[in-house]
Structures are given as C-alpha cells and as structure tokens.
Amino acid sequence: MAESTDHMELHVRVESADENAVDLLQRASALSKQRIKLAMTQGAVWLTRGRNTQRLRRAKRVLRAGDELHLYYDANTLANIPPEPTLIADAGKYSVWNKPYGLRSQGSKWGDHCTVVRWAERHLHPERPGFTVHRLDRAANGLIIVAHTKKMAAALSELFRKREVEKSYRALVAGDFSQHANPLRVTQPIDGKEAISEFSMLELCKHGEQSLLDVRIETGRKHQIRRHLAELGHAVVGDRLYGTGEEDSVDLQLTAYRLAFHCPVSEKRVEYRLS
C-alpha cells in the first residue's frame, strides 16, 4: 500500500473467481468502498485479462482467477469537475461537440471523467460508447468529433490520416502579423516530423498589439499551431506554455471553428462550423 491514500498505484492479482473487485481493492488500498466505486466510475480502475487491459467501471463484473486489477488513484484528479461541452450534431455513429477550455480530448490511466469522450458516453441519448478520433489541446476550445463505434472511429481516423479533413482555427496572437506574407505558409518540422500550417491575417487588434488570424493546418502535430506561432514571435494570447507569460490570466485564444469532410455515414460532404 502507498504511504498516502490520496495518491497511489496498486496492482492486485485475482486468485479466485469468487472474489469481488471492490473488496479486493478496498483491502489492498484501505480506501472506502465508496471511493473505490467512484474511482471505477471515473476511469481509474483497470482490468487485465490475458493480453487485454481495459477500464473496469462495473463493480459487479465477474472476475476470473488470473485476472489482474490496477488502481491508479489520485484524489485531486478524481475531484476535478469537467467543464460542460455543447453538442453541435449527433450523427448516430459519431457526434460533434464544442469543447470548452479545460476539457480534455482523452484521459490517462488516472481517469477519464474530464474528457469529451466520457462526457459524450454519459450524456447522449441513447447512450453509446465513445472513441477518440482526433485531439484538441486541453487549453484550446472548439469543434471535436467523437466516434461511437470502432468501425466509425477507424473510418474517421483514416480521413484525418489521409489529410482529408479540413480544419480551420481562429487565433489571437501577440504583435502585428501584417509584416508577414498573407497567407503565410509554415513548414517547420516539429519533433522531427512534417508539420504544415497556414496563417492568414484577418485584423489588427488592441491598437496594433495583437492580431486575429485564420489558421489552417494540413498536419496535426502536438501543439503545432502554438509552436509555429511562438517560433514566429507571435505566441497565441494566453499561451502559458509557449507564450511570454504576460497574459496568464487569459484562457488560450485558440478556437477550432470549422471541420469539413466526406461523411462516412451519409456519404456526403459535411461542414460543421461555430458562429
């Protein structure tokens, strides 16, 4: 057992099919059964059976001898309250959401209750499983797709892989961007991988101290837009990772406002846009 019950990682082998997951983890961790059940609901408990490991959410799931339970318990993580996304469209096999600042695209072994995928699973009617298709920075906001079958997740992921999804963003950045070509195409690799962004000046703001840009990307590297703009000397306003720190009280001013692609459901071109 870990020294603190607020943060621990446990791995417990199941010796008998008669054993109960909550009881096993309660004895190993000294946490209350209520806290164990909450950790299950919020995605912090995992079950390994053979070569397969997945989240265990049902306290009454029947176990087998040889199974292994994993508890990744962090009280601060599990106490987080997720900001609510807005449903833009429900196409049945996938849905489109407006993800707010602070909501995550995907979870970790420590939980997934603060993700747009888990929110979709728990709030759509009828309820259905959710699968990650693409990512949007936790600090960013805007449109994100959640798939609801494995087949649809694979189909949509393939569209992103083939760069057949048009992705448009708005970014408020530091400085006067009009000194650059309009549009400005940036091909600077990120972490040794191809990364392509295109920035178009829309308007000068705050007496020339900031610029509003339209952004389109052909690749989806981690923090691509933020890193390309920071390297140009025009960090996104509110960027606490790559910015100057002068706007720490402001949320990241980066919004994914448009997605367009050939829909695998309707087999027609669709476009989703924030006003």
One of 67, 74, 112, 137 is an active-site residue; which one?
137
What is the three-class DSSP state of 241? Answer: coil
Rounded to 5 degrees, φ, ψ at 115 are -120, 155
Q: What is the dihedral of CA 248, 141, 7, 56, to 10 degrees?
A: 180
Copy the structure tokens of residue 251: 């949320």
**Could you tell me the end-to-end alpha-carbon distance of the chain, in angstroms, rounded to an integer?**
51
- Please tell me the distance from the alpha carbon of residue 29 to that of residue 46, in angstroms, as a whole number: 15
CA–centroid distance for 226 within its chain = 16
- Please tell me the distance from the alpha carbon of residue 225 to that of residue 207, in angstroms, as a whole number: 24
- Please tell me the distance from the alpha carbon of residue 135 to that of residue 115, in angstroms, as a whole number: 11
Vertex 158: Cα angle to 44 and 186 (nearest 5): 95
Between helix 33-41 and helix 21-29 the angle, nearest 10°, is: 120
137 is known as an active-site residue: yes
- Please tell me the distance from the alpha carbon of residue 240 to that of residue 247, in angstroms, as a whole number: 8
Give the helix, strand, coil percentages of the chain, each rounded to 5.
20, 35, 45
- Preceding amide of 126 cis, omega within 30: yes
Active site residues: 137
